[in-house]
A and B are shown apart, each in its own frame.
Chain A
Amino acid sequence: DSGVTQTPKHLITATGQRVTLRCSPRSGDLSVYWYQQSLDQGLQFLIHYYNGEERAKGNILERFSAQQFPDLHSELNLSSLELGDSALYFCASSFRTSYNEQFFGPGTRLTVL
């Protein structure tokens, strides 16, 4: 158990819908990262938040957004869902920066029908 929690574990929804994925970092960690794992793209970095502020963006679509709340939990919002958004979404946390070891949550498996 990495100490990073993600909910829900599985999510099945239809095209055009909007979903919210939730992540709680390890106790004491200030950074939260979101990654997407798909069969064709592999594991890709989406976005990084540090202590409530956005620090870096990767290959995140405009239909996707995220935020980190004062209690340091984070949410990833995916809207206008397409079939191609079906993937495993991971949240990771680290103490401060990317120099520190990142620990991954169990992931949320999203299926868009």
Chain B
Amino acid sequence: GIQVEQSPPDLILQEGANSTLRCNFSDSVNNLQWFHQNPWGQLINLFYIPSGTKQNGRLSATTVATERYSLLYISSSQTTDSGVYFCAAGANQAGTALIFGKGTTLSVSS
């Protein structure tokens, strides 16, 4: 089935720094989503982005479907950005499931 790989696994930043998180997927996708899991365990939708570029405040994402990767950019990071960021892909070969990567754990210190 489709494989979803995220990098880096861990990221430590000072407040105000910028970062780029990467998600590689092994097959063409019909769904690509980015989530933030906060310290309480809640999965927050960040982007639904099977292709193209979107921006939401300090966050933006780009998916290059033909090259099978997606990037999440976080600018001017804040301590509240800490948590785990997941990329999840849906593909015809995976049926109707979202296949999740292992996540990137982000720690932002003041």
B109 CB within 8 Å of chain A: no
Interface size on B, residues (CB 8 A): 21
Contact A56-B100, Cβ < 8 Å, known A98-B30, A98-B31, A104-B35: no
Question: Given A42-B102, A101-B48, A56 and B96 touching (CB < 8 A)?
Answer: yes
Query: With an 8 A cutoff between CB atoms, is B17 at the interface?
Result: no
Q: Would you call A48 an interface residue if the criterion is a C-beta within 8 Å of the partner chain's C-beta atoms?
A: yes
A33 touches B96 (CB 8 A): yes
**A97: contacting residue among B48, B96, B102, CB under 8 A:** B96
Q: Are B45's CB and A55's CB within 8 A? A: no
- A45 and B42 contact, CB distance less than 8 A: no
Complex Cα distance, B96 from A92, in Å, reads 12
Main secondary structure of the interface of A (DSSP, over half): strand
CB neighbors of A among B69-110 (8 A): 86, 88, 90, 95-100, 102-103
Question: What per-residue 1/0 map shows which CB atoms of A51-88 lie under 8 Å from chain B?
Answer: 00001101000000000000000000000000000001
CA distance A97 to B31 in the complex (A): 10
Residue A107 is within 8 A (CB to CB) of chain B in the complex: yes
Q: Inter-chain contact count A-B, CB under 8 Å?
A: 60
How many whole Å from B38's CB to the nearest CB in chain A? 10
Instruction: For chain A, give the interface size range.
Output: 20 to 34
Give the chain A neighbours of B48 by CB distance below 8 A.
101
Determine whether B41 belongs to the interface, using a CB cutoff of 8 Å to chain A: yes
B98–A99 CB distance below 8 A: no
| Chain B residues, Cβ within 8 Å of A98 | 30-31, 90, 95-98
Report if A33-B33 is in contact (Cβ < 8 Å); known contacts: A2-B45, A107-B42.
Answer: no
A76 to B: closest C-beta gap in Å: 15
Contacts of B98 in A (CB 8 A): 33, 35, 45, 92, 98, 102
**Least CB separation from A46: chain B residue:** B97
- The reply to whether the CB of B43 lies closer than 8 angstroms to some CB of chain A is yes
> B23-53 toward A: CB 8 Å interface, digit per residue (1/0)?
0000000110101000001111100100000
